[in-house]
Amino acid sequence: MSWWCSATGAAWTWQWRAYPGVWLFILLLAFGMWAWNRAGARAAGRAQRSVHPLFVGGLIVLWLSLDWPIGALGAGYLASIHMLQFLLMALVAPPMLLMGPSNDALALLEKPGVGRAIVRKFISPFPALVTFSVVVLATHLPTLVDALMATQPGSMAIDLLWIGAGLVFWFPVIRSVPHQPRFTHPVKMGYLILGMMFSPIMFGLVGFLVNATTPLYGVFELAPPIPGVHARDDHVLAGVMMSVGGMIIAFIAISVIFFRWTKESS
């Protein structure tokens, strides 16, 4: 039994498969948030608040994107589903997960310490944008993808990088960064436009996927075929999904920020 979704080279079937590593990961995330909020509440001398519903929604989105069938299809069969995973893990789930920590829990990041200082540095706007861009580029390089997706640890590494980069990228938009100037609403909108809608890295990847004469990723091109799906069309669809999906998510986020800005200004 496999513990994480990866390319197996076996013909695709719709028979359900268990991936206990995914379940354990989701449970650890839930427990980690509970423990963090508990520590924050104890440090502040207050009762621990209940978990935010959006955090639960973020866990569900992650579970659906990592587990069967999306996880298995995206790991070794379809580049388009692999791109759907990226959108869900890096752009949809992280802002929901970031609603999980309480203000008391986030206050723990303000205390001195090397580890906390490193975290504060990474979640600052400019380092966060650079980190996200580098991870997006590296985890979509054909050589790296073909090498990592063939093993369970490699496939897990890409998934965790997407989740981590998404959390870092969204943090200054969703929450306040300790010891940093306030990230105003107009700056947040510009940050999202630069990071998602007009990112040269994302546009470059989309261009390669859509315009390449042959599929970029061998792991998907050489995978056992799924009836009715051509590898070249699958790669083109992946590029379209990255472009359109990223813009839709950015537009929704920018719209929410804009309406909050106008409400606060009125």
Q: How many CB atoms lie within 10 A of CB 40?
A: 21
Segment 65-81 mean pLDDT: 96
- Residue 32 pLDDT grade (very low, low, confident, very high; cuts 50, 70, 90): very high
Where are the chain's structural domains?
20-265
Residues with Cβ within 8 Å of 199's Cβ and at least 6 positions away in sequence, in order, are: 133, 136, 246
Query: Is the backbone peptide bond immediately before 69 cis, with ω within 30 degrees of 0?
Result: yes
Segment 241-256 mean pLDDT: 92
Query: What's the CA gap between 234 and 266, in Å, rounded?
Result: 47
Query: What's the CA gap between 224 and 65, in Å, rounded?
Result: 21
The pTM assigned to this predicted structure is 0.94
Residue 184 in tokens? 């105003």
Is residue 179 over pLDDT 80? no
Q: What percent of the chain is modeled with pLDDT above 70?
A: 97
Exposed, middle or buried: residue 32 (CB in 10 Å: 0-12, 13-18, 19+)? exposed
Segment 70-75 mean pLDDT: 97
Instruction: Report pLDDT for 114.
Output: 65
Is residue 139 over pLDDT 70? yes
- Residue 79 pLDDT grade (very low, low, confident, very high; cuts 50, 70, 90): very high
Q: How many CB atoms lie within 10 A of CB 90?
A: 26
Of 228, 265, 185, the closest CA to residue 78 belongs to: 228
Instruction: Report pLDDT for 212.
Output: 79
Cβ atoms 9, 224 nearer than 8 A:
yes
Instruction: Report pLDDT for 19.
Output: 96
Instruction: Report pLDDT for 196.
Output: 84
Instruction: Report pLDDT for 263.
Output: 86
Residue 259 in tokens? 């309406």
